[in-house]
């Protein structure tokens, strides 16, 4: 009695080994490191880059462990976390502004472990330090603007369709057109039905037949919102990359919010500036041959190949419109299947564009891409020391120069481009501006020292809580206490292993969840052991008492844990950030503890008592 078949032991051993394997990377403290990558993706990072960065460190007298080349970036491991900032400065000064130098942590996990997909748990901002922003995208603004453009378009269509209107206005999220006669109104209705699939006609208030009220379909509103948010996400990602943060997070949250998390960043003001910057596209006419120098400017092409082939372009100083006016840019195909870039402007942008292009057909128009960048300048301060100060500047380069075929309006296209080029240019055209204004609705900054303190207090409470429970269980349940304690320790390892495997983020409330799990995980064992004690008291022989104790406690444990799991899942779905971390650890802890407390403890107890003649249980 009370013997497990060999396969059960093997299964348990496999699961435990698996837990240890995936928890193991957390034992390898990462090296502080600096990461060098190109300011633009075109820049190749190679041996030479690495060599010059290492040279810069040697010159500055900073010791380092070694460098390695990654996917288009170079990583140099340092000995001391204190060296990180000086190292960043030294490399940045030496490499100048074509490269972005970011602080990073380099994994020290042995290769064979990483090959198995084992990684350290990522630390939440409250443990790692850094900045968290929650931004709200004003999607109503996008929908409103879209209605305005549709209304302008509708006026033209109504005129063309001989449906003379008194007024066409945007009121309460709807386009309202008013007419003098019912016939005109009904002509307008049929025009709207035919021409605008995205609009739906609603009954006007009070049944006024002289009024036509059209609203955007729900799915159209959703499409516009999604477009705006995805656009803003792309723009934000581009901007965040400029900050040189090692592992930034830019994610949509809920319907109209975007979370930006920048681990390791302390300068919030700078981060806010970069995230919030805007307007970096300009449309200008190509300067005429005989234009005065004071009226024209020379720009290089952004694409190096183009630059070599055509050697830059002279554009007029006058800006037709800037990126703010661009509401969309997509790659499309003409009737012959050749790629083209379809560009949408807002109403005002369309007017300006029309005014500037109708008398300039045949000339070329250039699109400038403007990047706001930071360069480090060496200056000498009063003490005669050379200091490096960051300086912001704008870089303007041509991304497109094409002949105007006819007067351009709100919608136009750029033809004669290669498919790949079209993709890239469309992306750049979009990247210029935010599709919708954004507001900071939440901002959290955690200093690095607070992060380190949080880790320390978290680890301390886990240790102390664990030791207290271990001692307590040993005193109360003796031999069975040992079994429960081993199970508890294994549970902790499994919990960490599963969290690492799933790439869960560890937060301070998450650590609190681990602590709580330690306290509650023994519950299953307590239930089983009390049951065994009871069965002994009922006069059952030791072996049957063990068996019956485990059996009878099982359903109770199951019920109790499932309900707790339900609560944890609800907590996960309503919680945000750190609280989610708590729910995650709690849920995983419940599952792993059920395994260790039921199967793990049973295996150990079976090994100790199973298949022997036992007179007395040490419980």
Partner 1 sequence: MSNETENNYENTPALDYNDYNGRRVYHFMKWRNIARLISAVLLVGSIVSLAVNGLQFGLDFTGGTQVEVEYETPPSIGEIRSQLEGAGYKGAVVVLFGSDKDILIKLPPEVAEEQAQTRAREGTSSIGDEVVEVLKSHTAEEIELRRVEMVGPQVGEELRDDGGLGMLFALGVVMFYVAIRFQFKFSVGAVAALAHDVIIVLGFFSFFKLDFDLTVLAAILAVVGYSLNDTIVVSDRIRENFRKVRKATSEEIIDISLSETLGRTLMTSITTMLVLLALFVFGGELIHNFSTALMVGVGVGTYSSIYVAASILLAMDISKEDLMPPVKEGAELDDMP
512-531: contacts with partner 1 (CB under 8 A): 512, 515-516, 518-520, 522-523, 526-527, 530
465 forms part of the interface with partner 1 (CB under 8 A): yes
- DSSP string for residues in 100-165: EEEEEEE----HHHHHTT--PPEEPHHHH-EEEEEEEE-HHHHHHHHHHHHHHHHHHHHHHTT---
The tokens for 78 are: 């340092």
The distance of closest approach from Cβ of residue 445 to partner 1 in the complex, given in angstroms and rounded to an integer, is 4
449 forms part of the interface with partner 1 (CB under 8 A): yes
Complex with partner 1: residue 216 or 271, whichever CB lies closer:
271
Helix (H) or strand (E) holding 403: strand 386-403
Q: Under the phi-then-psi rule, with left for phi > 0, alpha for psi from -120 to 50, and beta for the rest, what region is 611?
A: left
Q: Count the site residues for partner 1 by CB under 8 A.
A: 89
Complex with partner 1: residue 345 or 518, whichever CB lies closer:
518
Interacting residue with partner 1 among 269, 292, 309, 475 (CB under 8 A): 269
Complex with partner 1: residue 154 or 515, whichever CB lies closer:
515
CA distance 251 to 259: 5
Binding residues for partner 1 restricted to 386-425, rule: CB under 8 A: none
Complex with partner 1: residue 135 or 498, whichever CB lies closer:
135
The distance of closest approach from Cβ of residue 597 to partner 1 in the complex, given in angstroms and rounded to an integer, is 12
The tokens for 371 are: 């990047």
Complex with partner 1: residue 188 or 271, whichever CB lies closer:
271
Interacting residue with partner 1 among 32, 509, 542, 589 (CB under 8 A): 509
The tokens for 147 are: 């209605």
Complex with partner 1: residue 27 or 468, whichever CB lies closer:
468
Complex with partner 1: residue 344 or 534, whichever CB lies closer:
534
Interacting residue with partner 1 among 444, 452, 479, 608 (CB under 8 A): 444
The tokens for 237 are: 């990602």
The distance of closest approach from Cβ of residue 141 to partner 1 in the complex, given in angstroms and rounded to an integer, is 11
Complex with partner 1: residue 24 or 125, whichever CB lies closer:
125
Complex with partner 1: residue 209 or 556, whichever CB lies closer:
556
User: Which of these segments, 24-32, 89-97, 291-299, 581-589, binds partner 1 (CB under 8 A)?
Assistant: 581-589
CA distance 321 to 281: 8
453 forms part of the interface with partner 1 (CB under 8 A): yes
450 forms part of the interface with partner 1 (CB under 8 A): yes
Interacting residue with partner 1 among 55, 190, 556, 611 (CB under 8 A): 556
233 forms part of the interface with partner 1 (CB under 8 A): no
- Pair 448, 345: CB distance under 8 Å: no
Binding residues for partner 1 restricted to 98-117, rule: CB under 8 A: none
3-state SS record for 510-574: HHHHHHHHHHHHHHHHHHHHHHHHHHHHCCCCHHHHHHHHHHHHHHHHHHHHHHHHHHHHHHHHH
- As a dihedral over the C-alpha atoms of residue 591, residue 594, residue 600, residue 601, rounded to 10 degrees, the angle is 150
Interacting residue with partner 1 among 52, 215, 268, 307 (CB under 8 A): 268
- DSSP string for residues in 47-113: HHHHHHHHHHHHHTT--EEEEEE-SSEEEEEES-GGGHHHHHHHHHHHHGGGEEEEEEEE----HHH
The distance of closest approach from Cβ of residue 60 to partner 1 in the complex, given in angstroms and rounded to an integer, is 25
For residue 606, what are the contacts with CB-CB under 8 A and spacing of at least 6? 2, 3, 4
Backbone angles phi, psi at 41, to 5 degrees: -70, -15
373 forms part of the interface with partner 1 (CB under 8 A): no
The distance of closest approach from Cβ of residue 523 to partner 1 in the complex, given in angstroms and rounded to an integer, is 4
370 forms part of the interface with partner 1 (CB under 8 A): no
The distance of closest approach from Cβ of residue 454 to partner 1 in the complex, given in angstroms and rounded to an integer, is 7
Instruction: State the number of CA atoms in the 13 A half-sphere of 170 facing the CB.
Output: 15
CA distance 118 to 92: 33
Complex with partner 1: residue 156 or 574, whichever CB lies closer:
574
CA distance 192 to 529: 76
For residue 234, what are the contacts with CB-CB under 8 A and spacing of at least 6? 427, 430, 431
For residue 361, what are the contacts with CB-CB under 8 A and spacing of at least 6? 404, 405, 406, 407
CA distance 448 to 125: 9
Binding residues for partner 1 restricted to 332-351, rule: CB under 8 A: none
538 forms part of the interface with partner 1 (CB under 8 A): yes
Complex with partner 1: residue 32 or 513, whichever CB lies closer:
513
- From first CA to last CA, the distance across the chain in angstroms is 18
Residue 89 to residues 34, 375, 389, 452, Cα–Cα distance (Å): 10, 12, 10, 23
- Pair 4, 606: CB distance under 8 Å: yes
Complex with partner 1: residue 324 or 424, whichever CB lies closer:
324
Binding residues for partner 1 restricted to 238-257, rule: CB under 8 A: none
Binding residues for partner 1 restricted to 275-304, rule: CB under 8 A: 275-278
User: Which of these segments, 155-163, 196-204, 393-401, 564-572, binds partner 1 (CB under 8 A)?
Assistant: 564-572
551 forms part of the interface with partner 1 (CB under 8 A): yes
User: Which of these segments, 80-88, 95-103, 129-137, 413-421, binds partner 1 (CB under 8 A)?
Assistant: 129-137
Interacting residue with partner 1 among 34, 473, 487, 504 (CB under 8 A): 473
Complex with partner 1: residue 264 or 339, whichever CB lies closer:
264
């Amino acid at each position: 009695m009370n013997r497990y078949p060999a396969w059960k032991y093997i299964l348990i051993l496999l699961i435990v080994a698996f837990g240890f394997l995936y928890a193991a990377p957390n034992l390898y403290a990462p090296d502080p490191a600096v990461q060098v990558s190109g300011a633009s993706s075109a820049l190749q990072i190679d041996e030479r880059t690495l060599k010059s960065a290492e040279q810069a460190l040697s010159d500055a007298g900073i010791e380092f462990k070694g460098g390695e080349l990654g996917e288009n970036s170079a990583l140099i491991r340092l000995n001391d976390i204190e060296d990180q900032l000086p190292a960043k400065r030294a490399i940045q000064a030496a490499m100048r502004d074509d490269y972005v130098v970011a602080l990073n942590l380099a994994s020290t996990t042995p290769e064979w472990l990483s090959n198995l997909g084992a990684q350290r748990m990522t630390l939440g901002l409250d443990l790692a330090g850094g900045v968290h922003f929650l931004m709200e995208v004003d999607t109503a603004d996008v929908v409103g603007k879209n209605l305005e453009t549709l209304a302008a378009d509708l006026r033209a269509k109504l005129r063309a369709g001989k449906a003379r209107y008194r007024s066409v206005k945007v009121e309460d999220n709807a386009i309202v057109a008013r007419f003098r006669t019912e016939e005109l109104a009904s002509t307008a209705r049929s025009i709207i039905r035919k021409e605008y699939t995205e609009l739906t006609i609603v009954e006007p208030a009070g049944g006024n037949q002289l009024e036509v009220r059209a609203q955007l379909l729900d799915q159209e509103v959703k499409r516009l919102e999604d477009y705006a948010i995805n656009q803003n996400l792309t723009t934000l990602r581009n901007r965040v990359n400029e900050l040189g943060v090692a592992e930034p997070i830019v994610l949509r949250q809920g319907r109209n919010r975007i979370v930006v998390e920048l681990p390791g960043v302390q300068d919030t003001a700078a981060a806010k500036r970069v995230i919030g910057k805007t307007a970096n596209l300009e449309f200008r006419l190509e300067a005429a041959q005989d234009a005065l120098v004071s009226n024209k400017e020379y720009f290089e092409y952004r694409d190096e190949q183009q630059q070599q082939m055509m050697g830059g372009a002279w554009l007029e100083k006058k800006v037709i419109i800037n990126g703010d006016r661009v509401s969309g840019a997509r790659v499309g195909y003409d009737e012959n299947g050749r790629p083209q870039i379809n560009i949408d402007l807002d109403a005002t942008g369309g007017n300006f564009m029309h005014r500037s292009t109708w008398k300039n057909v045949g000339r070329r128009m250039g699109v400038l891409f403007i990047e706001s960048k930071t360069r480090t300048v060496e200056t000498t301060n009063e003490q005669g020391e050379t200091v490096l100060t960051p300086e912001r500047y704008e870089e303007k380069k041509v991304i497109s120069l094409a002949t105007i075929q006819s007067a351009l309006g709100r919608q136009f296209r750029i033809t004669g481009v290669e498919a790949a080029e079209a993709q890239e240019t469309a992306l750049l055209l979009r990247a210029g501006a935010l599709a919708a204004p954004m507001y900071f609705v939440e901002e959290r900054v955690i200093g690095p020292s607070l992060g380190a303190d949080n880790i320390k207090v978290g680890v301390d409470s886990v240790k102390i809580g664990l030791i207290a429970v271990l001692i307590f269980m040993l005193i109360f349940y003796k031999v069975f206490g040992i079994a429960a304690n081993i199970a508890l320790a294994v549970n902790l390892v499994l919990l960490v292993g599963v969290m690492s495997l799933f790439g869960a983020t560890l937060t301070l409330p998450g650590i609190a969840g681990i602590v709580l799990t330690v306290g509650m995980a023994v519950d299953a064992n307590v239930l089983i052991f009390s049951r065994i004690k009871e069965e002994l008291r009922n006069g059952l022989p030791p072996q049957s008492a063990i068996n019956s104790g485990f059996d009878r406690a099982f359903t109770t444990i199951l019920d109790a844990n499932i309900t707790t799991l339900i609560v944890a899942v609800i907590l996960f779905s309503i919680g945000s950030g750190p609280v989610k971390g708590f729910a995650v650890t709690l849920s995983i802890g419940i599952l792993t503890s059920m395994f260790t407390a039921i199967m793990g403890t049973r295996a150990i107890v079976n090994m100790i008592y199973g298949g022997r003649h036992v007179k007395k249980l040490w419980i």
